């Protein structure tokens, strides 16, 4: 695992010098465009998790992977209630 990381760092460093020689001073444009695309992706696909426990976040992604939409049931509020019921050992009727 560590050797893969070292190899990746070496490869990126080596490619960076080749790209800098080919493009010149505008090499930052590639880096900036990748950062911009990642920022858009995270804004669209990663939910807000402020004041949400790890269990609630896990339940959100579990429901989403099953094709159930948490938004239909009041999103985090319903997930929080079901998580607390499961944690306390109560059975759902």
Q: What is the pLDDT of residues 7-56, one digit of tens each?
A: 888 888 888 888 888 888 888 888 899 999 999 999 988 888 888 888 88
What pLDDT band is residue 62 in, cutting at 50, 70 and 90?
confident
pLDDT at residue 93, rounded to an integer: 47
Which residues, at least 6 apart from 64, have a Cβ–Cβ distance to it below 8 Å?
Answer: 70
Position with higher pLDDT, 45 vs 89: 45
Give me the helix-helix angle, 28-45 and 2-23, nearest 10°. 130
Task: Evaluate whether 36 touches 44 at the Cβ level (below 8 Å).
Answer: no
Q: What is the pLDDT of residues 72-86, one digit of tens each?
A: 555 556 666 676 777
For the chain, how big is the Rg over CA atoms in Å? 22
């Amino acid at each position: 695992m560590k050797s893969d990381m070292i190899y990746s760092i070496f490869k990126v460093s080596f490619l960076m010098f080749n790209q800098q020689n080919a493009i010149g001073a505008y090499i930052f444009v590639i880096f900036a465009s990748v950062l911009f695309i990642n920022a858009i992706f995270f804004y669209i696909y990663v939910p807000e998790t402020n004041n949400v426990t790890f269990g609630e976040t896990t339940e959100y992604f579990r429901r989403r992977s099953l094709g159930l939409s948490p938004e239909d049931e009041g999103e985090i509020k319903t997930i929080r209630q079901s998580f607390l019921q499961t944690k306390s050992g109560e059975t759902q009727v």
